[in-house]
Amino acid sequence: MTTPPPRPPSTRALRNRIILAVAAAAVLAVALIAGMISARPAPAPATTAPAATPTSTPTPTPGARPQPTRTPGAEAVDTFDKNARSIDDPASIWVVVNKQRPLNPLDYVPADLVDVPVDHTWAPVLRKEASDAVVAMFTAAAQEAGLELASNSAYRSYSSQVEVYTDDVEHNGQAAADLSTARPGYSEHQTGLTMDIGPSSGNCSLNTCLADTPEGQWLAANGWRFGFILRYPADKTEITGYDFEPRHYRYVGVELSTRMHETGVRTLEEFFGLPAAPTY
C-alpha cells in the first residue's frame, strides 16, 4: 500500500504555532530578567549618624547685663599734674594766697600789668593773660545772654590794700573787716589775677544779692570756661577765711578751672590739699 505524502499545514495552524513561540520567548525573557535582578547584591543599609547631644544654653536673667572683664591696673588714671605750676611763686597763675599764705615778697608787683578794656567803676588793671580772659568773658556774656558786665575792682597794690583794709577796720571793726577784706600782702587782688565783677547797672554789685541776678548766675555757671573760679563760695568760709563774695573771680587758667569744674572741687585749698585758712 502506498503511503500518501503529508499535507502541508494549513495557514491557521502556522499562525497558532508562531503565536505560541512568541509567547514562550516572552515568558523566558521575563524570567531571565527577574533572575538577574534578584541576583544583584542588596545595598548596604544607610548609616544613621548618632543624634547630637543638645548643649544647654544658660537662660539670661532679665535685666542682667554682661560685666566687662577688668584687666588689673586698667582703671582710669588721673593725668592732671597738680605740680605743673607753682602754687608759691607769686608770678604763677596758680599761686594760692590766703590768710596762711602771704605773697612773697609782701609788696609783690606783677611785671605784665595792662589796662583792661571793659566797662568799669574804677579803671581796671590786670596781668595780660587775665585781662584777655576777662575781655573774652564779658564779650560772651553780652553775645550769649545779652548781659552787660563791669569791673568794680581789679589789681590793687600793697599800698592801695593798706588804705582799703584800714578803711574797713575803721568802719566795721577788725573782726568784720577780716571776713571781707584781706590784709596788705595777703590779698588776691595784689596778684593781678582777680577782679570784682558785677552788672554795668551797679545792681547788687558789692552785695551777696548779686548771686540772684542774671549777671551773677551767668558768671557762676560760665566763669570756668574762661579760666575763672568763684574764689569765695557761700559755704566755704571755714576754708577760705572769707564770707561769700559772688563778685570775686580769680583767674587760674582754663586748664585748672576746667579740672575744678569737672571734679566739683571749689576752693584752691581743697584742690591742692592745703590746710584751711580761716584766720591769720
List average pLDDT for each run of 10 residues in the chain, which is 280 residues long. Answer: 46 50 50 48 44 45 47 63 98 98 98 98 97 98 98 98 98 97 98 98 96 98 98 98 98 98 98 98
Helix or strand holding residue 133 (H, E) = helix 128-145
What backbone phi and psi angles, to 5 degrees, belong to 247?
Answer: -95, -20
Burial letters for 175-185: b for 16+ Cβ neighbours within 10 Å, e otherwise?
eebbbebbbbb
Model pLDDT, residue 76: 59
Domain residue ranges in the chain:
114-155+193-271, 158-191
Model pLDDT, residue 78: 78
> Is residue 245 flagged as an active site residue?
yes
Distance of alpha carbon 157 from alpha carbon 146, whole angstroms: 33
Q: How many degrees, rounded to 5, is the angle at CA 184 between CA 179 and CA 110? A: 120
The model's pTM is 0.73
What backbone phi and psi angles, to 5 degrees, belong to 61?
Answer: -75, 130
Model pLDDT, residue 63: 45
Model pLDDT, residue 199: 98
For the domain spanning 114-155+193-271, the CATH number is 3.30.1380.10
Q: Which of 170, 245, 269, 270 is catalytic?
A: 245
